[in-house]
Amino acid sequence: MSRLTQGFKKATANEDKVVLVDFYADWCQPCKAISPILEEIATDPKFKTGSGDAVDLVTVDSDRETDLCAEYDIRALPTVMAFRDGKPVQKFVGALPKAQVHAFLQSI
């Protein structure tokens, strides 16, 4: 297991929070649209998922981390995956409006 993969596994294994993983690329315009929404949610201590968990954010540059993208079958950008205890539990693809991102997190 590469050092990066180990770091990714450790970051997504947070037992106290749901970890959102934002698979993005610098050239991707929809990625640039959703990034501030995800950052705002992750830095707002009052925001909780539907199950009451806080949210953390990990970003993955899909151009650099091709092995991780292949492992999680990332086929379009942006793809946002929610991890709980190191395992993916749900995902969405595309730049959703803020209200839909909130609804996504309320369903977790």
Active-site residue (options: 21, 31, 68, 101): 31
Active-site residue (options: 18, 19, 28, 96): 28
> Does the annotation mark 28 as catalytic?
yes
Structure tokens at 12: 């997504």
> Does the annotation mark 69 as catalytic?
no
Interior CA angle at 16 toward 14 and 89, to 5°? 65
Q: How far is Cα 36 from Cα 8, in angstroms, rounded to an integer?
A: 21
From the CB of residue 51, how many other CB atoms can be counted at a distance below 10 Å? 11
Q: Give the distance from CA 14 to its chain's centroid.
A: 13
For 4, phi then psi, to 5°, come to: -65, -45
Structure tokens at 90: 């749900």
Residues recognised as catalytic: 28, 31
